Amino acid sequence: MTLENISCQKSFGGWHKRYRHHSSTLSCDMVFAVYLPPQAEQGAKLPVLYWLSGLTCTDENFMQKAGAQRLAAELGLIIVAPDTSPRGDDVPGDPDGAWDFGKGAGFYLNATQEPWARHYRMHDYVVQELPALIEANFPVSDKRGISGHSMGGHGALVCALRNPGRYQSLSAFSPISNPMSCPWGEKAFSRFLGEERSRWREWDACALLAEAREKLPILVDQGDRDDFLEGQLKPEALQSAAQAAGHPLTLRLQPGYDHSYYFIASFIDDHLRHHAEALRG
């Protein structure tokens, strides 16, 4: 598969690069970013952390705002940040032009309903196509971690829970924990998956925890001044589901923090170390 390098900047001794490629899974061109720490030029095969961003974001938000490169360079972690949805003139978005559905809001699932089924297969893209592309073109090992923010936190949880053994580490910032029971999730699921709610359970972290075959430890940070805390994110539902399933979850409610990248930048080092410990082990 052809990769087109569209930008390249040196950072903390490594390189931040953006690439464009055609995705057969999504039937459109996609852009992703990769941070290659200095060890990548020394012949080592390095573990990869996949970062999934939230509503309205692209591959650029995390790489520009989270401040992850310094510690990633020290730890020898490659970071890969895909876009949040398929893009292009042929890709349908929200029919009303709303920001919380469609382009920039793919919800990391595989749509089954028209007109979205052809393009909105972000789960398969993140779990299968993109890692195959990364592993064919960059000096990576078979050790993978996954993390994300908000809608991307939901995506990280679901990707790991649906694919036991695929990832060795998992974390999230402010995830949409119970999308079956919040406005963002209900809107997305009803359109992408149809009105039959039993099908929604396959894409809801709380439902998946009850049946998880792998007890991969989860680290979650959530700000207590997050405007979306009660109506959309519902971390208490995730905690209850984990407790009921006996699934290891560290949920930290951080006083004074909101939903922004100021919050993510404040705790990203903890998450990188969480992943590095599991991936290097």
Active-site positions read 150, 226, 259
Of 168, 170, 121, 109, whose CA–CA distance to 140 is shortest?
168
Residue type, 144: R
Omega before residue 95 within 30° of 0, cis? no
CA distance 199 to 99: 24
What is the biggest distance separating any 2 CA atoms in the chain, rounded to whole angstroms? 52
Question: Judging by DSSP bridges, how do beta strands 140-148 and 169-173 pair with one another?
Answer: parallel
**Cβ neighbours of residue 202 under 8 Å, at least 6 residues apart?**
162, 208
Of 169, 165, 8, 7, whose CA–CA distance to 75 is shortest?
169
